[in-house]
Structure 1
Amino acid sequence: MPFTPFHMGLGLAAKAAAGNRLGLVSFGLAQVLMDVEPGVRMLMNDGHLHGWSHTLLGALGIGALATWWSRWLTGLLVGRWNAETGHYGLRWLGVPGALSYRVLGAGAFLGTLSHVGLDSLMHADMKPLAPFSDANPLLGLVAHDSVYSAMVLCGVAGGLCWLIRQRFSGPRGE
């Protein structure tokens, strides 16, 4: 998938389902960190875009890093979000800023592991089980366009469900 936007569809759906048990900022940061390696490889005209960062082991390491960094990033973004929603009289859209590492980790690790899974469905250069195996058992199980469509639907449905949850139950999650 071309970087983060499509992957965030799953994050929005998961956030709507899990509420304050999942950090959406940590999920998003994990997506960006996962795609640093392919981005650098694109700039270098490397034909093999998905390397170590797109393995299960790489995803675990990046998930840990995203969990740690997202504590600071969540505070920064949520503070700004709450100031803006308050300024415009939309306090019901406000969210708590102090999240536990468990909540941040849930978002980060769901982000990295789902990233490997989704990309494994579509990219022939993926080796998600490396260094133990060069196999990609998920490749081609779902049509490329179907994965994109599913992520867009997840994003729209998840975003709408989150808004409804916020409106009728008040601030509960990141």
Structure 2
Amino acid sequence: MPFTPFHMGPGIFIKALLQGSFSLMVFGWAQIVMDIQPLLVMLSGEGHLHGFSHTFVGATLLAILAATTGKYLALVGLYCFGLNQDWKVSITWPVALMSAVIGTFSHVLLDAVMHSDVQPWAPLHLHNAYLGWLSSEQLHLFCIATGVVGGIVYAILRTKTVRGREDSK
């Protein structure tokens, strides 16, 4: 199913580890961009469900698109959520690109574990060596667990950062 929230679990974990060096909003936008092609296939009934967009070549191209558009969409999103009212938060190009690449490549890898029609290394070869590394249930639990652990780690690190700033005043 396109636009699954499970892909966000690993992203939350990565955000916890990298903090300001990673944009969770650009990562999330990359997840949406990745699933536009499968959505169009589902709506039209024509094409390969996990086609070119779910290859590493396609993911590379979509990462460039997601970084380029996501950098600005994320800032607007932060503003709309009241998290950047003074427009002081910025997302650098390296952060946007890294977040989008991690987003698209992790999307291919997670979907390759679960879906038999994903051909991650096409056009080099059509075999999916990742299929079945984990069961669907294990994969979902992995995504949920990384999201929960990432959320906890992020909250702890942010609390320490805020306390550190207050202590230095």
Match of 2:70 in 1: 70
Match of residue 136, structure 2, among 125, 140, 144: 144
Match of 1:134 in 2: 126
- C-alpha root-mean-square deviation of aligned residues, in Å? 1.9
Where does 1:92-171 land on structure 2 (aligned, <5 Å)? 97-170=89-162
When residues 96 and 162 of structure 1 are mapped into structure 2, their CA distance, relative to the original with a 3 A threshold, is farther
Aligned residues of 2:2 and 2:39 also touching (Cα < 8 A): no
Query: What's the CA shift string for 1:78-105, capped at 9, x where partnerless?
Result: 2233459x9xxxxxxxx96211110111
Where does 1:49-88 land on structure 2 (aligned, <5 Å)? 49-83=49-83
When residues 150 and 71 of structure 1 are mapped into structure 2, their CA distance, relative to the original with a 3 A threshold, is same
Q: TM-score, normalised by structure 2?
A: 0.88
Matches of 2:129 and 2:8 in 1, distance apart? Answer: 23
Kindly report structure 1 stretches of 4+ aligned residues shifted beyond 4 Å. Answer: none
Aligned residues of 1:13 and 1:155 also touching (Cα < 8 A): yes
When residues 30 and 83 of structure 1 are mapped into structure 2, their CA distance, relative to the original with a 3 A threshold, is closer
When residues 83 and 109 of structure 1 are mapped into structure 2, their CA distance, relative to the original with a 3 A threshold, is closer
Match of 1:91 in 2: none
Using the TM superposition, give the Cα deviation of residue 111 of structure 1 relative to its aligned residue in structure 2, in angstroms.
0.2
Using the TM superposition, give the Cα deviation of residue 48 of structure 1 relative to its aligned residue in structure 2, in angstroms.
3.2
Aligned residues of 2:14 and 2:150 also touching (Cα < 8 A): yes
Aligned residue identity for 1:63: A
Matches of 1:159 and 1:130 in 2, distance apart? Answer: 34
Using the TM superposition, give the Cα deviation of residue 24 of structure 1 relative to its aligned residue in structure 2, in angstroms.
0.8
Q: Tell me the number of residue pairs that the alignment of Structure 1 and Structure 2 aligns.
A: 161
Aligned residues of 1:9 and 1:153 also touching (Cα < 8 A): yes
Matches of 1:38 and 1:48 in 2, distance apart? Answer: 8
Aligned residues of 2:22 and 2:99 also touching (Cα < 8 A): yes
Aligned residues of 2:12 and 2:146 also touching (Cα < 8 A): yes
Higher relative contact order (CA 8 A, sep 6+): 1
When residues 120 and 112 of structure 1 are mapped into structure 2, their CA distance, relative to the original with a 3 A threshold, is same
Matches of 2:83 and 2:3 in 1, distance apart? Answer: 29
Runs of at least 5 residues in structure 2 that lack an aligned partner in the other structure? 163-169
Overall identity of the aligned pairs, in %? 36
Aligned residues of 1:23 and 1:105 also touching (Cα < 8 A): no
Aligned residues of 1:74 and 1:97 also touching (Cα < 8 A): no
Match of 1:6 in 2: 6
Matches of 2:80 and 2:102 in 1, distance apart? Answer: 25
Query: What's the CA shift string for 1:94-132, capped at 9, x where partnerless?
Result: x96211110111110000000000100011111111111
Aligned residue identity for 1:102: P
